[in-house]
Structure 1
Amino acid sequence: MRGPHNIWRLIRTGATLERTGAMSVVLEAFEAPKALRIVARGLVFPFRWIGIKGDVSQPPVVRALTALGPAYIKFGQVLSTRPDVVGNELATQLRVLQDRLPPFSVAEAKAAVAAERGTDADEIFSEFSEPVAAASIAQVHKARLVDSGEVVAVKVLRPGIERAFRKDVDAFYFAADFIEFVAPFSRRLRPRAVIEHFDGVVTGELDLRLESSSASEFSANTAADAGFQVPAVNWEHSGRRVMTMDWAEGVSLGDNAALDAAGHDRHALGSRVLELFLSHALRDGFFHADMHQGNLKVAANGDIIAYDFGIMGHIDEYTRRVYAEILYGFIQRDYQRVAEVHFEAGYVPADQDVDEFARALRAVGEPIFGMDASKLSMGRLLNYLFEVTERFGMETRTELILLQRTMVVVEGVARSLDNSLNIWDVAKPVVGGYIKESIGPKAAARDLLKTAKVLARFGPRLPGLVEAALIKQVTPQDTAKKRAWPLVTLAGLGGVMIGAAGACAIFWLI
């Protein structure tokens, strides 16, 4: 039953892409063979009349996705984080994709609150404004709590949005499977994996409890960050379809005239937003992955306020250390060390030549460092780096692609505040400080301490585990191993325990 519906949705999608002029742009971005481009456009052209015309003032792809509705807008936003899939030029276009849609009524929003909380909205809020922002998945209202008089922001999912997204996502899966079947060249881009990534992002955004959790974790991580605020979540009045937070009052970080009128130092703000992003990514491994001006405000006291936590980035501790060493190596222009880190981490296959790789990295770094301060770009460096590593057989790492994309956006925000900002001067102390904390002797001691804690939890089970290992490994047919294995096992275990004890001692010393 879903097949015909999906086919019709895809015909309408193709017709809209053709009518808006986006079809040729998309085929070019995906490097489709010329013959396939001719066939694809020939098949769609007869249905062009059923396509949606859209806003002719917008770029073709943005125009098409906006016309097709919420799921397509969100898909475009997610694809903007994947230049490895759509190419840099199209990813840049998609970053400015407008997420403003006609709002739904206050009555519908209040009904959603009542259904979610089991209480009439007027009993919770003494004031409830018209929508102050309307996006593809939800809209936001300014409200006042009856019990405390506190002003809050109430985010409410669009009515029926889950069902609408599910239909479109099913069609996306259908299209991905079809594309992989008829165009084998596309498999290197892994269309189905891209849709699975999109599905995961949207599933998270359609449950506002998850966004509330992200906001709460982000707030806890950054509580001690000077000059930075995250509005607190009001859990009592939040749920799956409704999210309530403290109201963030301030000037948009994208309004330079208003910032100047309020007496804010734009150079200091630009430096701080970059420092904060790097600290969150490296120190915490959990960063706001949608840090454009629309999601940032400046409070009256000069603090930067972040909101909208639907897209967050995660990087594990090991990857953070590798990334920091790579970044710091570039800052120091130590290309040999940058190359060695790639090989040590297994990012580049061992059969490649490390010296040749270092020379390729030098060709990336030197032209960038030869630029004046206003043109230095960490995002551009990472982009070139990915191009080089791809030539040397490095597989795409989605978490680093998201980091690079966010880095580009944050740099853009910083430069919009002060175009003369030297990105590297700002980044160097943050990255250098992280390396001292994460790779030096203290970090090694902390790693050993973590190992000791894990062993301590398994302490009561260790004798049984060792005995089971001995029984499994020793066989009557191998008397030599029978004699040697207990000694090897106990020696190894003893070494681990000594190391753990040493870690505890070092921990107390530091």
Structure 2
Amino acid sequence: MKGPHNIFRMIRMGATLERTGAMPVVLDAFDAPRPLRILARTLVWPFQWLGKRGDTELPAPARALSALGPAYIKFGQVLSTRPDLVGGDLAQQLRVLQDKLPPFPSDAAKSMIQAELGQPVTALFDDFSEPVAAASIAQVHKATLRETGENVAIKVLRPGIERAFQRDIDVFYFVAGFIEIFSPGSRRLKPRDVIEHFEGVVKGELDLRLESASASEFAANTASDAGFTLPKILWEHSSRRVMTMSWADGVPLGDNDAIDALGLDRNELGTRVLQLFLSHALRDGFFHADMHQGNLKVAHNGDIIAFDFGIMGHIDEYTRRVYAEILYGFIKRDYQRVAEVHFEAGYVPADQDVDAFARALRAVGEPIFGMDASRISMGKLLSYLFEVTERFGMETRTELILLQRTMVVVEGVARSLSPQLNIWNVAHPIVEAYIKQSLGPRALAGDLIKTLQVVARFGPRLPRLVENALSAQAAERQQPDSSTKPLSYVAAALVGAGITALGFFVLAG
């Protein structure tokens, strides 16, 4: 029965896209050939009555997805972070997609809490409020802990949301397969891979234990960051479908009048939010990837408070170093070094011309440096950089796309606080400090110690490794061509022994 159901849902989806005017935009994004365009619009035309009009104030693609429901809203949000897949124009239109839906009844939330935590709401909380925020996956209530009187925020998944998302994801896979069959040109965008990426994101958000773990890790990483705080996760009142955390008192970071009323310096706040983001990305490799104004508050003492940890970004240490060197090279306008870093990291194929690449990078950087402070954007720089590197054969790196998208959002937050903020001046000390820490002599010594520690773990296996190497060498001597590498295995074993011994010496020291 799944096949017929998916066909019906696909027709309903197509009817809504057509009725809202989003169909041509989507077909353009996937480079659909003319026969597919005619087929798609012909199939859905008789069924337009099944479609919904949506919010006419939104761009057509966002209007269509909003009308289709929670899974489609979340899908649009995820696609807005992937301009490499859907193109910059469609990604930009989807960024305005509102993640706000009518709340579900509080009684349903209370039933969910009781089922998850094993006790009635009245036994755990007092003053349980009506929903204070509602999104596509969950909604939030305010309450006080009965034991301590502490104010808390309780995030509760929408009832049946897991099953609803799985049903819609099945439709997305069905549509992706349909597109790949009838639009060979779209295969370069890997529609099924797009859906797989979306499914991974959603499954992480549908288990609030994972979001709680992200919040806990983020709090540990940022504990010493001045002027930055996070709500505390209350694990004993949290589960798969319920997450309880301390209530964050403050004014929205986007409310400039309220910030001014508190007597806070908006220029300093804008500087701090941008520097905090860069520190988290470079220093920790773990950053809040949804840092818009709706997820940020300012406490009365001036602390920036972040919440909603459903989307977090990860960057490994090597990539962070490459990214920092690229940024630093642009800040110093050393385009030759930026080009060399791309080649050293293997981002650009070795058969390309490094000098030609450096000239292309100069064409990206120089116009930006010629702008006034209010127009300089590191996010736009990264966007232009990806366009250039793609022309030189660089493959898309998802983690950097997410970083670039978040950078654009954070810059927008900083600029809303202080329109004349100079992004380069703000970023310079953070990037420079990271470069000195991660690429200097001390960092080199640290890397060597880490390497030796890893190698030293093979110490107990060393006798067996040497024995196997000697046995293999003896067997090779029986072969006609054994003279070509008479001592290769023994030499490798002895080198390994020396490194392992040195590793033990380092550990012992």
Task: List aligned pairs for 1:77-476, cutoff 5 A.
Answer: 77-474=77-474, 475=476, 476=478
- Give the 3-state SS of the residue equivalent to 2:248 in structure 1: coil
Q: C-alpha offsets along residues 51-79 of structure 1, whole Å, 9 cap, x if unaligned? A: 01212222211111111000000000000
Cα 1:492–1:361 shift into 2, 3 Å: same
Cα 1:121–1:497 shift into 2, 3 Å: same
2:496 corresponds to which letter in structure 1? L
Q: Is the 8 A contact 2:458 2:500 kept in 1?
A: no
- Distance in 2, matches of 1:501 and 1:425, equals 45
Q: Is the 8 A contact 1:448 1:500 kept in 2?
A: no
Q: Is the 8 A contact 1:230 1:306 kept in 2?
A: yes
Q: C-alpha offsets along residues 155-192 of structure 1, whole Å, 9 cap, x if unaligned? A: 00000000000000000011111111111100110100
2:470 corresponds to which letter in structure 1? L
Aligned to 1:485: 488
Give the drift of 1:489. Answer: 1.8
Q: Is the 8 A contact 2:29 2:87 kept in 1?
A: yes
- Distance in 1, matches of 2:236 and 2:298, equals 27
Tell which deviates more after alignment, 43-52 or 132-141: 43-52
Give the drift of 1:42. Answer: 2.4
Q: C-alpha offsets along residues 409-438 of structure 1, whole Å, 9 cap, x if unaligned? A: 001111111110000001011011111111
2:257 corresponds to which letter in structure 1? A
- Distance in 2, matches of 1:34 and 1:360, equals 35
After superposition, the CA RMSD in angstroms is 1.6
Q: Is the 8 A contact 1:445 1:503 kept in 2?
A: no
- Distance in 2, matches of 1:290 and 1:210, equals 16
Q: Is the 8 A contact 2:16 2:53 kept in 1?
A: yes
Instruction: Confirm or deny that 1:6 pairs with 2:3.
Output: no
Give the drift of 1:491. Answer: 4.3
1:488 corresponds to which letter in structure 2? A
Give the drift of 1:40. Answer: 2.1
Aligned to 1:70: 70
1:347 corresponds to which letter in structure 2? Y
- Give the 3-state SS of the residue equivalent to 2:130 in structure 1: strand
1:210 corresponds to which letter in structure 2? L
Give the drift of 1:483. Answer: 4.7
Q: C-alpha offsets along residues 251-290 of structure 1, whole Å, 9 cap, x if unaligned? A: 1011111111111111001001100100000110000000
Aligned to 1:28: 28
- Give the 3-state SS of the residue equivalent to 1:129 in structure 2: coil
2:193 corresponds to which letter in structure 1? A
2:495 corresponds to which letter in structure 1? G
- Distance in 2, matches of 1:308 and 1:455, equals 40
- Distance in 2, matches of 1:376 and 1:440, equals 29
Tell which deviates more after alignment, 286-295 or 55-64: 55-64
- Give the 3-state SS of the residue equivalent to 2:103 in structure 1: coil
Q: C-alpha offsets along residues 184-231 of structure 1, whole Å, 9 cap, x if unaligned? A: 100110100000000000000000000000000000000000000111
Give the drift of 1:485. Answer: 2.9
Give the drift of 1:456. Answer: 2.5
- Give the 3-state SS of the residue equivalent to 1:139 in structure 2: strand
- Distance in 2, matches of 1:270 and 1:502, equals 48
- Give the 3-state SS of the residue equivalent to 2:291 in structure 1: coil
- Distance in 2, matches of 1:362 and 1:482, equals 48
- Distance in 2, matches of 1:444 and 1:120, equals 56
- Distance in 2, matches of 1:449 and 1:105, equals 57
- Distance in 2, matches of 1:231 and 1:392, equals 44
Q: Is the 8 A contact 1:62 1:94 kept in 2?
A: yes
2:487 corresponds to which letter in structure 1? A
- Distance in 2, matches of 1:246 and 1:69, equals 30
- The alignment covers a number of residue pairs equal to 506
- Distance in 2, matches of 1:25 and 1:486, equals 61
Tell which deviates more after alignment, 448-457 or 113-122: 448-457
- Distance in 1, matches of 2:118 and 2:38, equals 56
Cα 1:342–1:499 shift into 2, 3 Å: farther
2:340 corresponds to which letter in structure 1? E
Give the drift of 1:396. Answer: 0.7
- Give the 3-state SS of the residue equivalent to 2:127 in structure 1: strand
- Distance in 2, matches of 1:156 and 1:289, equals 21
Cα 1:501–1:339 shift into 2, 3 Å: farther
- Distance in 2, matches of 1:272 and 1:178, equals 47
Give the drift of 1:36. Answer: 3.2
1:290 corresponds to which letter in structure 2? D
Give the drift of 1:21. Answer: 0.8
Q: Is the 8 A contact 2:250 2:300 kept in 1?
A: yes
Q: Is the 8 A contact 1:215 1:233 kept in 2?
A: yes
Q: C-alpha offsets along residues 373-407 of structure 1, whole Å, 9 cap, x if unaligned? A: 11111011100000001101111111110000000
Cα 1:485–1:28 shift into 2, 3 Å: closer
Q: C-alpha offsets along residues 447-483 of structure 1, whole Å, 9 cap, x if unaligned? A: 1111121122222122212222332354222554675
Q: Is the 8 A contact 1:137 1:158 kept in 2?
A: yes
**Percent identity (aligned):** 72
- Distance in 2, matches of 1:473 and 1:416, equals 69
- Distance in 2, matches of 1:96 and 1:272, equals 25
- Distance in 2, matches of 1:482 and 1:339, equals 39
- Distance in 1, matches of 2:16 and 2:407, equals 32
Tell which deviates more after alignment, 215-224 or 445-454: 445-454
- Give the 3-state SS of the residue equivalent to 1:259 in structure 2: helix
Q: Is the 8 A contact 2:456 2:501 kept in 1?
A: no
Cα 1:19–1:118 shift into 2, 3 Å: same
Give the drift of 1:93. Answer: 1.9
Q: Is the 8 A contact 1:446 1:503 kept in 2?
A: no
Q: Is the 8 A contact 1:19 1:48 kept in 2?
A: yes
- Distance in 2, matches of 1:495 and 1:343, equals 32
Cα 1:102–1:486 shift into 2, 3 Å: closer
2:499 corresponds to which letter in structure 1? V
TM (norm. structure 2) is: 0.96
- Distance in 1, matches of 2:303 and 2:484, equals 66
Q: List runs of 5+ in structure 2 lacking aligned partners.
A: none
Q: C-alpha offsets along residues 81-113 of structure 1, whole Å, 9 cap, x if unaligned? A: 001112112212211211111111111111101
- Distance in 1, matches of 2:256 and 2:65, equals 30
- Give the 3-state SS of the residue equivalent to 2:152 in structure 1: strand
- Give the 3-state SS of the residue equivalent to 1:358 in structure 2: helix
Tell which deviates more after alignment, 470-479 or 335-344: 470-479
Cα 1:267–1:473 shift into 2, 3 Å: farther
Q: Is the 8 A contact 2:462 2:497 kept in 1?
A: no
Q: List runs of 5+ in structure 1 lacking aligned partners.
A: none
